[in-house]
Chains A and B, each alone.
Chain A
Amino acid sequence: MTELIFFINQVVIAGAVLGCIYALGAVGITLVFGILRFAHFAHSELMTSGAFFAFLLASAFAAWGIVTPIPTGFVVLPIAMVISAILALGIDKGFYAPLRKRGARPVTLLIASIGVTLMVQGLIRLFFGAGSYSFFETEAKDVFRIDLSMLGSTRPLVITEPQLLMIIVTAISVIALHLFLTRSRLGKAMRAMADNADLAQVSGINTALVVRVTWIIAGALGCMAGTMLALDVTLKPDLAFNIIIPIFAAAIVGGLGQAYGAIAGGLLIGFAESLAVFNWTMVLRPLNAILPDWLQLPATLALVPTEYKLTVAFVILVVTLLVRPTGIFKGASS
């Protein structure tokens, strides 16, 4: 039992948290790809800047003496999401819309998005330096230790308050997104445009509005993902830039343009990463009593050494691109 709880602590919770962050980021990427047909690299900067907005708001709350029952990062999240959505709209208006109007190829838009990445990252570094920040400097990070001794475990189940909230908030936003895409007129228009942009336009869908809504959703969800990542680890200027490829991997594994695919892909990659670095000896140790002496388990028996954790996502990405380039859910091909 102890081993099972250890497994849950190390793989299930860590994988779920990572998976939620990847999934929320990948939804934005996949929607932008579905509607605007280009790989939006600057999505990582939407995430990082969103996290910094939330951090600034949380600091302001702390300075005004407002104490909240749940971590302030979650309280200020809606405001930060609105700011990020406005930022995303502004970036589109300033950098991508002129290129689209000129009829530039998706490749040009991709390079432009790298320019945007560099500019936003430069600005963040300009204002915040290269150091790292924590949401939990002024408040404590609650850690729940659920005692499971009645089940025969010597270890408690450990989950922090932000992690628990993170999983709940992600579940709520995924359901909200699902309802929006399937029930509302605008959501249906978005799906139609992702399937076939030209057909959507001739059938009277307001494409400009759909593009705006896409950026709003991408910015808001990106902010949510970035803030959660910052709440789970620390906040630094290259926070999301380092994980943009796993997020792209999640979007591609699920099929570019498929919102549900992105969520599935995100969870898949999150769990795959935590499973790959998991030390199986901890769980299989009871076997040592049965196994003969020459076949004892080594001290570490992980599929991949911890320092190669991020490579897992890249390997999954490359394999997916080779075996099934359109992803699990049959995404768009550019």
Chain B
Amino acid sequence: MIQRSLTLFAGLFVLILVIGWLMGLPFTSSRLVEAAAYSLIALGLNIQWGYGGLFNFGIMGFLMLGGFAVTFISYPVNPTFWGSDGPLMLGRALLAFAAGALLVIAARKSDRIGLRGGWKTFVTVLAWFVAYCLYRSQLDPAAAYIESAAGGGWVGGLGAHPILGWLFGGVLAAVIAFIVGKIALGLRTDYLAIATIGISEIIRALIKNMDWLTRGTLTVSPIPWPTPLPQDYQASGSDQFSSLLLARGGFLLLALAVLAIALWLISRAYSGPWGRMMRAIRDNHIAAASMGKNVTARQLEIFVFGSVLMGIGGAMLVSFTQIFDPSSYQPINHTFLIWVMVIVGGAGNNWGAVFGAVLIWLVWIISEPLSKVVFDFVSMWSSNFGWGAIPDIEARSAQMRVFVLGLVITIALRFAPRGLIPEMVKREG
């Protein structure tokens, strides 16, 4: 098994070298940084699905939360907003939100004063409605004011270091994952998948349309880098090529360091008693519950842990590309892609998840130029036969990526259902 993994990783290394040779170093170094971020996200899903058997199809939502977090923390401060009435109005909206929350909690406790059955349901629904109206009545004018010129357009950032943004991405993802988990983890597999997709779509709709907070479709850029930018190296006298490489190399080292820490922590936890307990819950949660394990609490724990990694990974991706564009998030690119990584790499094995992430990311990237070559060849052949050339080769080859992704996952499920580097089952005693 070890030998097989080593062979596969060596093959991957050769693939990277070939891509580096064909596409040039700047291109390859960018893709490697992204691959490192995706590895972190895939590790997050591997914790949830491979360790816990939890079906999270809402990865896109957590990536968006991470992206928003790093934008909010590290983007420079917007003085117009802070000097206007905006913060005051937002404060009132926050108070309205808190009042609404109190109202809902009170309605849920209304059985203490003798309300039962249908009456309690009625009061709860009414409380939700009143709370919603209260919050909207304060938030809508605040949002309209902030989005106008007087309010500064949007809230802006806090101007802190991007690393803090990454951490905040993890914290934000954890908080939301806790709420989502509290709501949805009681559901069985298929239902959980559909519920998490629904929740991630709600998160997307919110982030995309809350222009006062995230600038919505207007996008935010440039988001600062945690490491020196190519421009900084150029200012100190390096030429263009080497400054690009130095800057990306620096970011890559930082990303790899984060990845290594995450991998080390997870491996330690997983090989200990905690990991054994998780495997027991995944394989037979009824038996585990009868042995006195608190299944719901442990699953919530694992859901939060996985989501933290997704939030950090999403923050990394955004701070690397330097642009936060809520409309660019798609379930195909940000949820299904990660699932393919974990399934192909091997669910339940950390190295498998990392391997799958890097491999699938490279396949996703090179399938476009590769299919362009194929199309060019077929086009040349067909025009020689007098059938005419293939139109729009550029656009078509860009679309081929989705097909290749689907092909990879169906082949993997058919021939290597447990992944290329499957989970190692240790037998004790």
Contact = CB atoms under 8 A, between A and B. Distances in A.
B202 A118 contact: no
Contacts of A102: 417
Contacts of A156: none
Given A118-B336, A119-B406, A252 B417 contact: no
A115 B406 contact: yes
Contacts of B235: none
A19 to B, nearest CB: 19
A318 B406 contact: no
Contact of B188 (A33, A98, A114, A334): A334
B395 A308 contact: no
B63 interface: no
A271 B35 CA distance: 44
A245 B60 CA distance: 15
B187 A321 contact: yes
Contact of A114 (B184, B189, B195, B336): B336
Nearest to A316: B198
B399 interface: yes
A104 interface: yes
Contact of A39 (B193, B395, B399, B401): B193
Contacts of A130: 395, 399
Interface in B178-233: 183-184, 187-191, 193-195, 197-199, 201-202, 205, 208-209
Contacts of A305: 209
A108 B417 contact: yes
* A117, A126, A310 pick with most chain B CB within 10 angstroms: A126
B296 to A, nearest CB: 15
B25 interface: no
A123 B401 CA distance: 10
A100 interface: no
Contacts of A107: 55, 189-190
Contacts of B343: 111
Given A118-B332, A126-B403, A321-B195, A110 B205 contact: no
* B188, B190, B410 pick with most chain A CB within 10 angstroms: B190
Interface in B300-345: 332, 336, 339-340, 343
Contacts of A308: 205, 209
Contact of A122 (B189, B190, B392, B400): B400
Nearest to B404: A122
A213 to B, nearest CB: 22
B413 A99 contact: yes
Interface residues of B, number: 42
Contacts of B420: none
B338 to A, nearest CB: 12
B4 interface: no
B195 A318 contact: yes
A289 B392 CA distance: 60
Interface string A247-260: 01100100000000
A26 interface: no
Interface in A97-143: 98-99, 102, 104, 106-108, 110-112, 114-123, 125-126, 129-130
B405 interface: yes
Contacts of A321: 184, 187, 191, 194-195
A248 B407 CA distance: 24
Contacts of A114: 336, 339, 406, 409
B194 A248 contact: yes
Nearest to B412: A115
Nearest to A314: B198
A38 B410 contact: no
Contacts of B193: 39, 110
A315 interface: yes
Contacts of A118: 332, 336, 402-403, 405-406, 409
Contacts of B414: 98-99
A155 B268 CA distance: 71
Given A129-B392, A333-B188, A249 B403 contact: no
A322 interface: yes
A315 B202 contact: yes
Interface string B403-429: 111111110011001000000000000
B385 to A, nearest CB: 20
B64 to A, nearest CB: 14
Nearest to B208: A307
A187 interface: no
Contacts of B202: 311, 314-315, 318
Given A321-B195, A334-B191, 17 more contacts: A114-B339, A114-B409, A115-B410, A118-B403, A122-B402, A122-B405, A125-B402, A126-B399, A248-B197, A249-B194, A305-B209, A308-B205, A308-B209, A311-B202, A314-B198, A321-B184, A334-B188
Interface of B: 55, 183-184, 187-191, 193-195, 197-199, 201-202, 205, 208-209, 332, 336, 339-340, 343, 392, 395-396, 399-410, 413-414, 417
16 contacts: A39-B190, A108-B417, A111-B343, A118-B336, A118-B406, A121-B402, A122-B399, A122-B403, A122-B405, A245-B194, A245-B198, A307-B208, A311-B205, A317-B194, A333-B188, A334-B191
Interface of A: 33, 38-39, 95, 98-99, 102, 104, 106-108, 110-112, 114-123, 125-126, 129-130, 245, 248-249, 252, 305, 307-308, 310-311, 313-315, 317-318, 321-322, 325, 333-334
Q: Would you list the 8 A-B pairs with minimal beta carbon distance, nearest first? A: A122-B403, A118-B406, A119-B406, A125-B399, A115-B409, A122-B402, A314-B198, A115-B410
